[in-house]
Amino acid sequence: MKAAVLYEIGAPLKIEDVTLDEPQDNEVLIKLEATGVCHTDLHFMKGEMPTPVPVVPGHEGAGIVEKVGPGVTTLKPGDHVILMVAFNCGKCRYCYEGRPTMCVENLPIQMMATLPGGGMRLHKGDQAIHHLFGLACYAEKVVVHERSAVKIREDAPMEVVCLLGCGTSTGIGTAINTTKIKAGESIAIFGCGGVGLSAVMGAKLAGARIIAVDALDSKLEKAKELGADYTINATKEDPQLRIPEILGGGADYALEFVGNVDVMTKALGCIRAGGILIVAGMAPLTSILNIMPFEFLIGKTITGAVQGDVIPQIDIPRYVDLFMEGKLPIDKLITKTYKLDQINEAYEALEKGEIIRSVIKM
Ligand code: ZN
Ligand code: ZN
């Protein structure tokens, strides 16, 4: 089968014929229909986050279960599934606490780029190939652990709902789950790419007052279309001055999706005393955040979230239902679709900011 392989950090992906092994214990083989093109992979491909090579990236996959390995109880052939970027084991303290995106197995899988337990089912000749996030969705098929896949309704279009595997659910979940925002509370959303715009949609569902902040007017227009009440172009106006003008004070919550420490500092300045800043943007691993400790003396909180604190088995099918009912128009994020052999073109367009999100149709 075909897969897009990263052989060297910083190099383009190479479309290769590779071998995929049969699913082992608790694993499933899925024929992918679509995979979202997400910025997160780019951080690994460019070396801003570490990954072993060769590796197949791609973590926003959706497809149909073709085969199940021994011991699989939650899925069967024919099931439609979305693959989740954050693995959860179901057995650690975080999983028991109802915080599965914090699972202790998640980070090792990310760092080693293998299936849970260290297995690799991809080969090119004798050479084993890693699975980024335990997935490897830039391929026609994947073998993954059954707990990496969430069953969804069969009438949902895979080329749209695949986005819920990572970026979109991160945005929606951060806005709703992490904040626990109530109707009428205010939220400033910094960064209106695919994740930030998903947060706008989530905050809209929750009845919040939404201020979207970005450097590009085109993205702010999209934010307005998806439910932002106010927009601020941070290259033209200072959000720290403009937000108090709009709200009569700082925002109750700020979400940072840019992954830029200067934006994080600015966002902290934009919340009210006692307000909460949630950092969800992925800054390069070595960057350092500088803040005034005085901010803590007026009761501000800075916290983070992994994948919007979603509980995949509950939240993902729910977000799919909301999309199907027209309440969560995540299809509006998709600017373009590509074929697998156009993957490098898709990333170039993403880096240039030409598109909000694109999807590879297998
Ligand atoms: Zn766990
Ligand atoms: Zn992603």
Shared fold status for 2-165+329-361 and 171-306: no
- 103 Cα–ligand 1 center, Å: 4
| DSSP E strand boundaries for 8-140 | 14-17, 19-20, 27-37, 55-56, 60-68, 80-83, 122-124, 127-131
The answer to whether 189 and 271 are in contact (CB under 8 A) is no
- List the chain domain ranges: 2-165+329-361, 171-306
Ligand nearest to the CA of 96: 1
Strands 209-214 and 186-190: parallel
Distance (Å, whole) CA 238 – CA 340: 41
- Residue 31 CA to ligand 1 center (angstroms) comes to 26
Question: 306-352, pLDDT tens digit by residue?
Answer: 999 999 999 999 999 999 999 999 999 999 999 999 999 999 998 88
pLDDT in tens, 59-113: 999 999 999 999 999 999 999 999 999 999 999 999 999 999 999 999 999 999 9
Among the listed residues 56, 46, 81, the one whose alpha carbon sits nearest the alpha carbon of residue 138: 56
- 104 CA → ligand 1 middle, Å: 5
Ligand that lies nearest to the alpha carbon of residue 100, given by its number in the listed order:
1
In CATH, what number does 171-306 get? 3.40.50.720
C-alpha of residue 293 to centroid of ligand 2, in Å? 32
- Tell me which residue of 15, 12, 20, 17 sits closest to 4, measured CA to CA: 15
Burial 113-139, CB ≥16 within 10 A → b, else e: bbbbeebbbbebeeeebbbbbbbbbbb
Residues of the chain with pLDDT > 70, as a percent, come to 100
99 CA to centre of ligand 1 in angstroms: 8
Q: Please give the model's pTM, rounded to 2 decimal places.
A: 0.94
Q: Counting every residue, how long is the chain?
A: 362
Quickly name the fold that domain 2-165+329-361 has.
Quinone Oxidoreductase; Chain A, domain 1 (3.90.180)
Instruction: Give 257 Cα–ligand 2 centroid separation in angstroms.
Output: 12
